[in-house]
Amino acid sequence: MYGFTSVSKGDIEEGTLYPGLSYGENELRWGFIRKVYSSYLHRSFSQPSSLPPQYSTLPSMISSRVALVSCCYSPSHPSFVLMWPLYIYHQKHPLNFIFLGLFTTCLSITVGVACANTEGKIVLEALVLTSAVICSMTGYTFWAAKKGKDFSYLGPILFTSLIILILTGFIQMFFPLGPTSVAIYGALGALIFSGYLVYDTDNLIKRFTYDEYIWASVVLYLDILNLFLSILRVLRVLQSDG
């Protein structure tokens, strides 16, 4: 009537990460998300690459992280030991960056050995497949969150699946699995950590507090590495069978 355009609550929420989030909170949340991904990318590209020479220019995300499952196989492993002080001090600067640097350095050495003993072609294929899963799962989670979907229910399911995966890993240390079983184990691992990627991205959007960006980046770091190593395990078995 007076030339003013009414703005409904739905119009305001249309550009937010998920329904019910105010505009100001939405801006803060986007800033937090950018900070997490910036920290993650910085650590990924700042670690020395341990790939075969012909692939040395690829992002060092391949060789700079170690699977959480691999750490659990050996509680004395430096990466596993460093996770405790990293979690305790993840909100205290500069100790959080010091422990994060030590943590990722240990990971680069461990995973670098695994990549160096794998044919470069297989590593590249695993990178491409992992990148495709990351993009699709992350994009889907942001879209689903905007539509009001919630993935918190996945927590108990994924945790139980991870425990089974770890116990199976312990068993195969003493009773080695055959090639087919190893491939199935790797495929299940890829499925579990694809689910963890969705679950933790949903937590990043909705639940992590603003001062937990270091731990949030570590969580995504481990999800992606576990996914990569699981896919790499499957491809190595398929290559050896071929």
pLDDT digits (tens, 9 = 90+) for 75-100: 445 566 677 777 776 667 777 778 77
Distance CA 30, CA 40 (A): 15
pLDDT of residue 133: 95
Token pair of 210, please?
């603003």
Structure-token match 């240990």, residue found: 106
Distance CA 189, CA 234 (A): 10
Cβ distance 232 to 126 under 8 Å?
A: yes
Distance CA 92, CA 113 (A): 32
Is residue 57 scored above 90 in pLDDT? no
pLDDT of residue 102: 79
Distance CA 99, CA 96 (A): 5
pLDDT of residue 181: 84
